[in-house]
Amino acid sequence: MGAKAKRKRAADSMIPKMTPKLAVGLTIVTVIVLFAVIGPFLLPDPRGISDHLLEAPSAQHWLGTTRTGEDVLAQLATACRGSLIVGVIVGLLAVVLSSFFGIVGAYIGGLADDLFSLFSNVMLVIPGLPLVIIISSYLPYKSVWLVAVVLAITSWAGSARVLRSYTLSVRSRDYVLASRVAGEKPWRILAVEILPNLLPILASQIMQAIISAILGEAGLAFLGLGATDSLTWGTMLYYAQNGLALKQGAWWWFIPPGLCLALFGAALALINFSVDEIINPKLKAATKSELKRWKLEEKAGKAKSDKQFGTAASAPKLGGTEIMTEHAMNAAVPQYEQNPVLEVDDFCVEYRAEETVKAVNHVSLKLGRGEVLGLAGESGCGKSTLAYGINRLLKPPAVITSGRVVFNSREGYPIDVRALEGKDLRAFRWEKISMVFQGAMNSLNPVKKIKDQLGDVFVTHRPEMDRKARLDKCGELLERVGVPRDRLNAYPHELSGGMRQRVMIAMAMALDPQVMIMDEPTTALDVVVQREILREITRLKNDFGFAVIFITHDLPLLLEISDRIAVMRHGQILEMNDAMSLYTNPQNEYTAKLLSSFPSLTGDRGDFIRQGNVVSESTEVSR
Amino acid sequence: MTTMQMKDVVKEYTLRNGLKTSTLFAVNHVSFSLESGKTVGLVGQSGSGKSTIAKMLLGLEKPTKGAILIDGKPIGHSREERQWFNKNVQMVFQDPYASLNPYHTVEHHIARPLKIHHPDLSKEEIHKRVVDLLDRVRLSPGEEFASRLPGELSGGQRQRVAIARALAPEPSILIADEPVSALDVSIRLGVLNLIAQLQRDENLGILYITHDMATARYFSDEIMVMRKGEIVEHGPADDIILHPQHEYTKTLIGAAPDPERRLKELKRIG
């Protein structure tokens, strides 16, 4: 592949995908630009006076005439040109200024950054309009350039701040550090490593600068402060206003320039949406028809599964009784078969991206009361999707295409989780199944005290509780997870990572749920803190009897804490067995491979080879 | 044969809290040496100062006190000396999703250090070396991988590119800061084995920074245990893991998941 093609592909990710919004925006911009470029050559002199005064549109004057008999269409073409020129000049000047002060300052850092951002902040508060009024009172003649420069120097500062914050984030990325380690020169790091990644945001800033420049110029011109002898949308509106066009009903005089202004602004804003989607891909939204179709598919899938397994009402119930006592259990049949708290059958989830991805593929499992089920697998194997799906937390483009989820509440009635809607669904989550999320320690709200965040659970689910009872309950919860009660008044940043994780667990336990889903609850923690949290979870589980689905990629950890382990790959459960059988006698090749990926701490080195021959390429699992 | 030494190094950071200032000893009187062909494991909790040591060894941060010597000489300030230093000491970063520039191809990442440190090479020679390096980190065919973008590679493949980039200047010391902890478990050993293989080929001195005691044991000749900026224990790998002396080392080892332990417990109960 040639160097050119490579560069093209590298740039591809920076070019927005064609969407209806982008298409409409581009079309409008193209039409207006073409009109501005070609129009003035084809149309009569915009200043040419005739004796057709203030005439409505006719075959001779398509957009009518002004009070002095000038052709409005001809004026409009020249005004388009004038406005666009001002917009582009100001847009470019503003972006050059904001790039210099924003990007360069942020990249150098230290004193330069302080000074540059101080300067930007001072410029930010200088108001453009009074400045121009002052300048115009001193200068009898104002060129377009002067107006453009004034608009530029009063408009760059805001975007300098945006660019600065982006540069600060890109600058601290590892690839920039890697270039420094390689010995790259500073200017090259800035130009080759940092700048390309700022292109989308730069494009968006240019567009914004152009819009605000055109609007700003129109505002000035409308007040009669525009460039002398210029003709722009703003001056057209100014003359129309002076000529009492509105009063005389001469709509053809002021509507065309006003419309152009509005259309052009809207078109650039539409293009900007598409650029924003590159900067932040999450903004890409599914269309309404897609959402509708997915919902129907989900319903159809549910109907089919209901037929297959019977609805929840006819779900296998244990004689409609409460929890079975240990004595009543048949020792030969495992507890999770006899008295499951959660049953999942034939569960499928698909992601409807450009290609449909089967994230969870015909998964069935049973979770026993008070059992710890480990869900092991590598990134992208569908373990989190499965957990979120069980709790009905998936959002489009995720679609549950089939399956049944039955929750057997300890009060002795089954709940068809997939049939829940609205209020019932909200009540079900957290009351019956609660979750501790991935990176949970960062999911606390930094500006709310611990007691308020814990209290929120009760405000939502136990509205009848009064303030005092709530506070008591929150304190009790904290003590339960080993956090002193006086931490109720602390803010999250005043707690260590381990403490925050404990608070999250307390929150998940608040409503005495029967199942807790823990999604990598200790991955972000240190080994020592992780150990403490694991002990805490085990203790709480023994005390309160909830079942746990523990999701992680750390198989040794699961082996220590789980009763049973399910190994997932490509959306399927490859092997499910009790922890020790899985460890000592793995049935699936992949399980064996995962197990051998962790050299034992105290045993021999397993697959790890430092001396001798290299391990064959099969070590890398093909994807 | 290259030796890199840290001699009694202290790194202080001044923390500002309103008008009050306090001093944080990120690294406190640390001395050790790295030698060609040997691996030193540096283990400890996050915030213990491991990454600060890496940054100082790479010259990205300056020590407050103490000296960093390479073959007995301090690192110079002139452009040539810096260049020579950058050529000799390279790094593999933790997160291959962050350490490759999404805008540039694999070839760019490996060709740049080659161009910087071998300015006399022609374009064709550089391309040939890029492909060679890719083949050596087992991204074959290298010709095809060279033109890919990081976004088109898996985590393990990205980390191999990062390793190739670090090897491009032909360094003698490699600093590997948690090189596999961001990767999927099933490919971790493959990447570590690759680094070990390359170490033997190139006679690299490696500083292996990790929080995983098990891989530290098998990957390193020596292990240093770090806590709050100080090295609390330093010795041969097996000694540290199997017969830890310091309380903190024992805590770390006790905290690491070990299924064997549960197996024993279950056997005892059963």
CATH code of B152's domain: 3.40.50.300
pLDDT of amino acid A615: 43
Taking an 8 Å cut-off on Cβ atoms, the answer to whether B156 and A180 are in contact is no
Structure tokens at A483: 């956090």
3-class SS shares of chain A: helix, strand, coil, % to 5: 55, 10, 30
Comparing A547 with A523, the larger pLDDT belongs to: A547
- pLDDT one-digit tens code per residue, A485-514: 888 888 888 887 788 888 888 888 888 889
Structure tokens at B10: 């202290």
Nearest-neighbour CA in chain B from A379: distance (Å)? 7
Q: A569 φ, ψ to 5°? A: -155, 140
* CB nearest to B242's CB, from A197, A526, A602: A602
Taking an 8 Å cut-off on Cβ atoms, the answer to whether B262 and A560 are in contact is yes
* CB nearest to A6's CB, from B147, B218, B257: B147
Nearest Cα neighbor of A179 from B108, B215, B52 is B108
Helix (H/G/I), strand (E/B), else coil: A10: helix
User: What's the rounded Cα separation, in Å, for the pair A269 and B147?
Assistant: 35
Confidence of residue B262 (pLDDT cuts 50, 70, 90): confident
pLDDT of A10 strictly over 70? no
pLDDT of B164 strictly over 70? yes
Question: Would you say residue B262 lies in a domain?
Answer: no
- pLDDT one-digit tens code per residue, A27-47: 999 999 999 899 888 887 877
* Region of A464 on the Ramachandran plot (φ > 0 left; ψ -120 to 50 alpha; else beta): alpha
Interface check for B65 against chain A (CB to CB < 8 A): the answer is: no
pLDDT of A618 strictly over 90? no
Q: Identify the top-confidence range among A135-139, A606-610, B120-124.
A: B120-124
Query: Which chain B residues are closer than 8 Å to A528 by Cβ?
Result: 45, 251-252, 255
User: What's the rounded Cα separation, in Å, for the pair A550 and B69?
Assistant: 48
Helix (H/G/I), strand (E/B), else coil: B79: helix
Q: Minimum mean pLDDT among A56-70, A99-113, B209-223: which range? A: A56-70
pLDDT of B7 strictly over 50? yes
Query: Which chain B residues are closer than 8 Å to A383 by Cβ?
Result: none
User: What's the rounded Cα separation, in Å, for the pair A288 and A372?
Assistant: 40
Q: Minimum mean pLDDT among A221-225, A455-459, B112-116: which range? A: A221-225
Confidence of residue B270 (pLDDT cuts 50, 70, 90): low
Q: Which of A15, A172, A174 to mutate to test the interface with B (most CBs of B within 10 A)?
A: A174
ipTM exceeding cut-off 0.85 for this assembly: yes
Domain count, chain B: 1
Nearest-neighbour CA in chain B from A313: distance (Å)? 40
Taking an 8 Å cut-off on Cβ atoms, the answer to whether B257 and A175 are in contact is no
Strands B222-227 and B205-210: unpaired
Interface check for B115 against chain A (CB to CB < 8 A): the answer is: no
Nearest-neighbour CA in chain B from A593: distance (Å)? 7
Nearest-neighbour CA in chain B from A503: distance (Å)? 21
Comparing A337 with A465, the larger pLDDT belongs to: A465
Nearest-neighbour CA in chain B from A509: distance (Å)? 25
Interface check for B147 against chain A (CB to CB < 8 A): the answer is: yes
CB A475 within 8 A of CB A485: yes
Q: What sign for the dihedral angle of Cα A415, A418, A422, A427? A: positive
pLDDT of amino acid A11: 52
pLDDT of amino acid A273: 83
pLDDT of amino acid B269: 66
pLDDT of amino acid A316: 45
CA distances from A520 to A138, A501, B55 (A): 68, 11, 29
* CB nearest to A619's CB, from B104, B193, B211: B193
Nearest-neighbour CA in chain A from B91: distance (Å)? 7
pLDDT of amino acid A488: 87
Question: Would you say residue B187 lies in a domain?
Answer: yes
Confidence of residue A604 (pLDDT cuts 50, 70, 90): low
pLDDT of A154 strictly over 50? yes
pLDDT of A267 strictly over 70? yes
The amino acid occupying position A115 is L
Task: Tell me what the mean pLDDT of segment B85-97 comes to.
Answer: 90
Q: Minimum mean pLDDT among A44-58, A448-462, A563-577: which range? A: A44-58
Comparing A280 with B3, the larger pLDDT belongs to: B3
Q: What DSSP designation does A44 have?
A: P
CA distances from B96 to A72, A173, A538, B150, B178 (A): 61, 11, 34, 9, 11
Neighbours of B113 (CB within 10 A): 26
Query: Which chain A residues are closer than 8 Å to B215 by Cβ?
Result: 599, 608
Q: How far apart are the first and last CA of chain A?
A: 25
Taking an 8 Å cut-off on Cβ atoms, the answer to whether A621 and B187 are in contact is yes
Question: Would you say residue B143 lies in a domain?
Answer: yes
Taking an 8 Å cut-off on Cβ atoms, the answer to whether B185 and A9 are in contact is no
Nearest Cα residue in chain B from A524: B46
Confidence of residue B83 (pLDDT cuts 50, 70, 90): confident
Q: What sign for the dihedral angle of Cα A171, A174, A177, A179? A: negative
Helix (H/G/I), strand (E/B), else coil: A366: strand
User: What's the rounded Cα separation, in Å, for the pair A436 and A521?
Assistant: 6
Q: Could you tell me how many CB contacts below 8 A there are between chain A and chain B?
A: 181
What is the share, in percent, of chain A residues with pLDDT greater than 70?
A: 88
Q: Minimum mean pLDDT among A50-59, A273-282, A420-429: which range? A: A273-282
pLDDT of amino acid A27: 93
Question: Would you say residue B60 lies in a domain?
Answer: yes
pLDDT of A593 strictly over 50? yes
pLDDT of amino acid A326: 45
Confidence of residue B230 (pLDDT cuts 50, 70, 90): very high
Q: Which fold has domain A33-283?
A: MetI-like fold (1.10.3720)
Helix (H) or strand (E) holding B142: helix B142-146
List CB contacts of A336: < 8 A, sequence separation 6 or more.
Answer: A366, A367, A368, A371, A564
Comparing A176 with A379, the larger pLDDT belongs to: A176
Comparing A576 with A136, the larger pLDDT belongs to: A576
What is the domain extent for residue B252? 3-256
Taking an 8 Å cut-off on Cβ atoms, the answer to whether B214 and A601 are in contact is yes
Structure tokens at A395: 């959002």
pLDDT of A614 strictly over 50? no
pLDDT of amino acid A443: 79
Q: What sign for the dihedral angle of Cα A96, A101, A105, A107? A: negative
Nearest-neighbour CA in chain A from B218: distance (Å)? 6
List CB contacts of A305: < 8 A, sequence separation 6 or more.
Answer: A345, A346, A402, A403, A404, A418
Question: Residue B236 pairs with which residues in a beta bridge?
Answer: B222
Peptide bond into B141 cis (omega under 30): yes
Question: Would you say residue B266 lies in a domain?
Answer: no
Q: Which residues of A212-249 are buried (b: 16+ CB within 10 A; e: fewer)?
A: bbbbbbbbbbbeebbbeebbbbbbbbbbbbebebeeee
A505 burial class (0-12, 13-18, 19+ CB within 10 angstroms)?
buried
pLDDT of amino acid A319: 40
pLDDT of amino acid B231: 93
Nearest Cα residue in chain B from A172: B98
Interface check for B116 against chain A (CB to CB < 8 A): the answer is: yes
Task: Tell me what the mean pLDDT of segment B194-223 comes to.
Answer: 90
Helix (H/G/I), strand (E/B), else coil: B127: helix
Task: Tell me what the mean pLDDT of segment B71-100 comes to.
Answer: 88
pLDDT of amino acid A623: 36
Nearest-neighbour CA in chain B from A529: distance (Å)? 8
CB A418 within 8 A of CB A390: no
Question: Would you say residue B269 lies in a domain?
Answer: no
Confidence of residue A324 (pLDDT cuts 50, 70, 90): very low
Question: Could you identify the residue written with the tokens 């690294």?
Answer: B27
pLDDT of A605 strictly over 90? no
What is the DSSP secondary-structure string of A164-223?
A: HHHHHHHHTSHHHHHHHHHT--HHHIIIIIIHHHHHHHHHHHHHHHHHHHHHHHHHHHHT
pLDDT of A440 strictly over 70? no
Annotated domain spans of chain A: 33-283
Structure tokens at A320: 């409609």
Query: Which chain B residues are closer than 8 Å to A598 by Cβ?
Result: 185, 214
What is the DSSP secondary-structure string of A332-349?
A: TS-HHHHSEEEEEEEEEE
List CB contacts of B8: < 8 A, sequence separation 6 or more.
Answer: B29, B30, B31, B65, B66, B67
Nearest Cα neighbor of B178 from B137, B219, B236 is B219
Q: How far apart are the first and last CA of chain B?
A: 55
Query: Which chain A residues are closer than 8 Å to B86 by Cβ?
Result: 181-183
- pLDDT one-digit tens code per residue, A271-294: 888 887 776 666 666 667 778 888
* CB nearest to B98's CB, from A173, A193, A603: A173
| Mean pLDDT of chain A, nearest integer | 82
